Amino acid sequence: MGKIGGNRNFGFGKKMEWAGKNALADRYGDGHYATRAAHAERWRQFVTYAKAGGIKDARDISQELIRAYGGELAEKVRSGDMAVAYAQNLLSSVNVVLEALRGDQQMRISPAALVGQRMNVRSTAPAGMERSQVSQAAKALQNKGDERVAAVAELARDLGLRFREASLLDVRSALIEAKALGKVNITEGTKGGRGREVDRWIPISKQALHSLEKGVDIQGRERNLIPPEMRFNQWQDHANAAWRSVSHDHNLAGFHNLRAAYACDRYQQLTGHAAPVINHHRMAEKAVDQAARQVISYELGHSRIEVVSAYVGSAK
């Protein structure tokens, strides 16, 4: 479509997301449909991040903002919740769209410099180890009318679930299962869609049971915690923005850090020692450490024990 006039978003439209699509169409023409669609989707995710920080015009995007976005992606890479290749693709699309909008490369950044190579070993304790901080953040969300986001956060912390898994969990059925068996089987929203083929039983603590009970009231008659009027992408954008609005006030980070906090708790329960990332070295005997990592890998839904180092620290 190309420029439509005006100054906002360099003349490509009033809304950043739409302006980005127009700029891509101007750059690629009628062809390269798949490439344009991929860039547009990744640009949408950056726009959501920018808008949460008060930026609504592409002319106001700075390299500092892009670096902050890259820092958030890098943390997800470090925790094992995002592949480094995907994080680099997200940043590359920001480069492409901004170049198309601006007509220059002044905002260009190096994706590899921001997200780097995947770090397989966590070196800092995850935010959310203090469960009371999560409770306070959840209460703040409830006061804002975001009870469903609060429920997802508490389930991520107490069951070690990914955001998607917690969102798609039928809490009502999970509570019945938890009361009958003392554990729940995670089958929805699992990475790679393996949930229906591979059992993944997670033990239920008193705190987890309490979170499930609260989640049932919030879910109501719906199938899961996603608001019925939202598609998953809309829900994810809303939940991330809502969580960011309260997390920093309570010394918390992203949802993925809550999952890492769960893993550290489980490590201590299984070995009798704090996780290496807490102690700055491994205190459990090697065999005990390895056995605990095997259990945690299973409960987190990973197929490789090595990934657990991204949650609890080094096995050395």
pLDDT at 192: 46
In this structure, what DSSP letter does residue 87 have? H
Residues forming beta bridges with residue 183, ordered by sequence position:
203
Calculate the dihedral angle through the C-alpha atoms of 45, 49, 55, 61, rounding to the nearest 10 degrees.
-70
pLDDT at 256 over 50: yes
Record the tokens describing residue 73, joined without a space.
């992606």
pLDDT at 193: 45
DSSP 196-209: TTS--EEE--HHHH
Q: At 187, is the pLDDT very low, low, confident or very high (cuts 50, 70, 90)?
A: confident
Max CA separation in the chain (angstroms): 67
Record the tokens describing residue 7, joined without a space.
């100054």
The CATH fold assigned to 131-312 is hpI Integrase; Chain A (1.10.443)
Tell me the pLDDT tens digit for each residue of 87-100: 999 999 999 999 99
Residue at 132: amino acid letter: S
Query: What residue spans define the domains of the chain?
Result: 8-115, 131-312
